[in-house]
Amino acid sequence: MSQSEARFTVRSLIATAIGTIIATVLVLEASGRIDHSDNKDHVPVGEFEAVHITPGEEFRMSPKSSELHAVCEQGYLAVAADTDPDFRGILVDYKNRGVRCSREPAPERNQPIQQGQEPADNE
């Protein structure tokens, strides 16, 4: 096909593709098909990895700190964001079991963990 036989230029095809994507997102947003949830209850705070370090082994870590910090919430380790104090989550293992931050016995299973609530004394 010669240059004079080409019906559309590459630029017009790229512009059409970008315009189509933008129009699709706008139509989905206007029709309510894209869900923007404000509920932070089930949003993962982050993905973490435990690194086993043996004595004498050299471990390299980034000099930058993350924008997260850990706190002890009713005997369980919670991770919270530095930028949003309300954004916090309990650290769980692969079976969704809470990671304790002390060697105390685990809290009662039937009692849900609520923010700001003091742990119950089982004495």
Query: Per residue in 8-44, pLDDT tens?
Result: 899 999 999 999 999 999 999 999 888 877 776 666 6
Q: What is the pTM of this model?
A: 0.45
- Residues 67-81 have pLDDT tens digits of 888 888 888 998 888
Cβ atoms of 47 and 89 within 8 Å: the answer is no
